[in-house]
Amino acid sequence: MNDAPPPSLLLLLHFLQDRMMAELHARGKTAEDIRDCLRSAPLDAHVISAIKTAAALRCDLRVVSDANTFFIETVLAHHGVLGCFSEISTNPARVDADGRLRISPFHDTAAAPHGCSLCPENMCKGKIIERIQATAGTKNQHFIYIGDGKGDYCPSLKLGEGDYVMPKENYSLWKLICSNKQLLKAEVHPWNSGEELEKTLLKLVDKIITPPAQVSQFDCSKCEMSKPASTEVGHHQALRVPH
Ligand SMILES: [Zn+2]
């Protein structure tokens, strides 16, 4: 029986850029136009597959993004994975009477500035991570943080030993991490394609949910063959769920 809780997985949706939002506004698009545009934007099949598999393995998936609720919910719902996430922390969005999308800052900067010098005024992802860490409890809870932007550096610094950060290679987060690797307590696992993201993520999830004694006793490349019948690792089968 494996008592380790499934890892909390923090997935950043880096494909939703604020710049795209601004361009759509400038062209006078309505919220419905934007929704159509978002639905036609491709999302890597490996990323969708990784989300579904991690959810099937009972990982707690959350989005921490500097995009907005409208973008994220539209895209995730379109690809049938919105229900995989327990929480979406992002800038609130609403559609006004003219059908235009209105975005507000995540932090009320006037009333309560977050005070973090690393992050943009509207959002400190580090504060969000601290809140999740506090509510998630401390026992054997592991975090995997996937990101690419500058704003992902602050939350990466908040991660502890036993946590993982997956930066996209050659992007801002990766460069900041490389500038002084000593500052991070979490293990760093870079990726540079959706396929590599999926492979790396599922390897880490498997590592977290597999009791350490089994990892040290068996050659994982031959796990299928060498695992004794008496060893129960129920999560393993779920790694190959069809989708
Ligand atoms: Zn911050």
Measure 148 CA to ligand 1 centroid, in angstroms. Answer: 15
Rounded distance, CA 145 to CA 11, Å?
6
Measure 203 CA to ligand 1 centroid, in angstroms. Answer: 29
Amino acid type, 168: K
Q: Name residue 91's beta-bridge partners.
A: 68
Q: Name residue 87's beta-bridge partners.
A: 62
Is pLDDT above 60 for 239? no
Q: Do the domain assignments include residue 3?
A: no
Measure 154 CA to ligand 1 centroid, in angstroms. Answer: 5
Measure 242 CA to ligand 1 centroid, in angstroms. Answer: 38
Q: Do the domain assignments include residue 1?
A: no
Is pLDDT above 80 for 200? yes
The whole-number pLDDT of residue 116 equals 94
Lowest mean pLDDT among 64-68, 143-147, 200-204: 64-68
Measure 243 CA to ligand 1 centroid, in angstroms. Answer: 36
Q: Do the domain assignments include residue 2?
A: no
Mean pLDDT confidence for 194-210: 93
R_g over Cα of the chain: 19
Q: Do 86 and 8 touch, CB atoms closer than 8 A? A: no
pTM higher than 0.85: no
Residue 16 token pair? 């939703």
Measure 155 CA to ligand 1 centroid, in angstroms. Answer: 7
Measure 217 CA to ligand 1 centroid, in angstroms. Answer: 41
Q: What is the CATH number of the domain that holds 18?
A: 3.40.50.1000
Measure 156 CA to ligand 1 centroid, in angstroms. Answer: 10
Measure 116 CA to ligand 1 centroid, in angstroms. Answer: 5
Residue 203: which residues within 8 A CB-CB, separation 6 or more? none
Rounded distance, CA 227 to CA 196, Å?
26
Measure 105 CA to ligand 1 centroid, in angstroms. Answer: 14
* Domains: count for the chain: 1
Measure 193 CA to ligand 1 centroid, in angstroms. Answer: 27
Q: Do the domain assignments include residue 223?
A: yes
Lowest mean pLDDT among 4-8, 64-68, 222-226: 222-226
Measure 167 CA to ligand 1 centroid, in angstroms. Answer: 17
Q: What is the mean pLDDT of the chain?
A: 81
Measure 125 CA to ligand 1 centroid, in angstroms. Answer: 6
Is pLDDT above 90 for 34? no
Using the structure block, give the residue that is written with the tokens 């949706």. Answer: 13
Q: Do the domain assignments include residue 225?
A: yes
What are the tens digits of pLDDT across the range 137-177?
A: 666 789 999 999 999 999 999 999 999 999 999 999 999 99
Residue 36 token pair? 């159509």
Mean pLDDT confidence for 114-122: 91
Q: Helices (DSSP H) in the chain: which residue ranges?
A: 18-26, 31-40, 45-56, 69-78, 125-136, 153-158, 172-179, 194-209, 212-217, 223-226, 234-238
Measure 68 CA to ligand 1 centroid, in angstroms. Answer: 18
Using the structure block, give the residue that is written with the tokens 């507000």. Answer: 104
The whole-number pLDDT of residue 103 equals 87
The whole-number pLDDT of residue 225 equals 42
Measure 96 CA to ligand 1 centroid, in angstroms. Answer: 30
Q: Where in the sequence is the domain holding 221, given as residue range(s)? A: 8-238
* Widest pairwise Cα distance in the chain: 64
Measure 138 CA to ligand 1 centroid, in angstroms. Answer: 21
Quick one: what percent of the chain has pLDDT higher than 70?
Answer: 74
Rounded distance, CA 120 to CA 26, Å?
23
